[in-house]
């Protein structure tokens, strides 16, 4: 099997890379450009006064950071999840279970700290 996957990944890379390059070149000539109102950024109602650098809430990137950290913790659970039953059968279930429990407690502590510190509040 692996080879099927490998081939596919190769194709995927080709699509992802080559297609972008081709399209970028096509975009160079194919797209219509202009200066009229038609080509202005879409605006609803009165034309906007402010420049393009709209202020964006730092919440978004804070969410992204917390996502990374929790995502990794979840990824750490995957190898545990697929081996947990094997560990139980080999008699090490308790040790590994407790190890994961400690990890989960850290996780839960972190999550509830974030909730309590209002890092996840949106308004």
Position among 30, 46, 47, 49 found at the interface with another protein (CB under 8 A): 30
Structure tokens at 73: 């913790």
DSSP state of 48: P
How many residues bind to another protein according to rule CB under 8 A?
99
Give the footprint of another protein on residues 82-101 (CB under 8 A).
Answer: 82-89, 92-94, 96-97, 99-101
Position among 46, 47, 49, 52 found at the interface with another protein (CB under 8 A): 52
Q: How far apart are CA 87 and CA 80, in angstroms?
A: 9
The contacts of residue 97 (CB under 8 Å, 6+ apart) are 84, 87
If one asks whether residue 46 binds another protein (CB under 8 A), the answer comes out as no
Tell the smallest beta-carbon distance from residue 17 to another protein (Å): 6
If one asks whether residue 116 binds another protein (CB under 8 A), the answer comes out as no
If one asks whether residue 47 binds another protein (CB under 8 A), the answer comes out as no
Structure tokens at 52: 């393009």
């Amino acid at each position: 099997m692996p080879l099927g996957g490998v081939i596919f990944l190769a194709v995927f890379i080709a699509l992802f890379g080559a297609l972008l390059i081709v399209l970028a070149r096509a975009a160079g000539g194919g797209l219509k450009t202009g200066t009229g109102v038609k080509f202005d950024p879409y605006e609803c109602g009165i034309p906007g006064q402010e420049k393009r650098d709209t202020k964006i809430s730092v919440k978004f990137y804070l969410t992204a950071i917390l996502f990374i950290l929790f995502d990794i913790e979840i990824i750490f659970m995957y190898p545990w999840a697929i081996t947990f039953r094997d560990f139980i059968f080999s008699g090490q279930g308790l040790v590994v279970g407790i190890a994961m429990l400690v990890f989960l407690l850290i996780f839960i502590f972190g999550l509830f700290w974030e909730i309590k510190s209002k890092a996840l509040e949106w308004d």
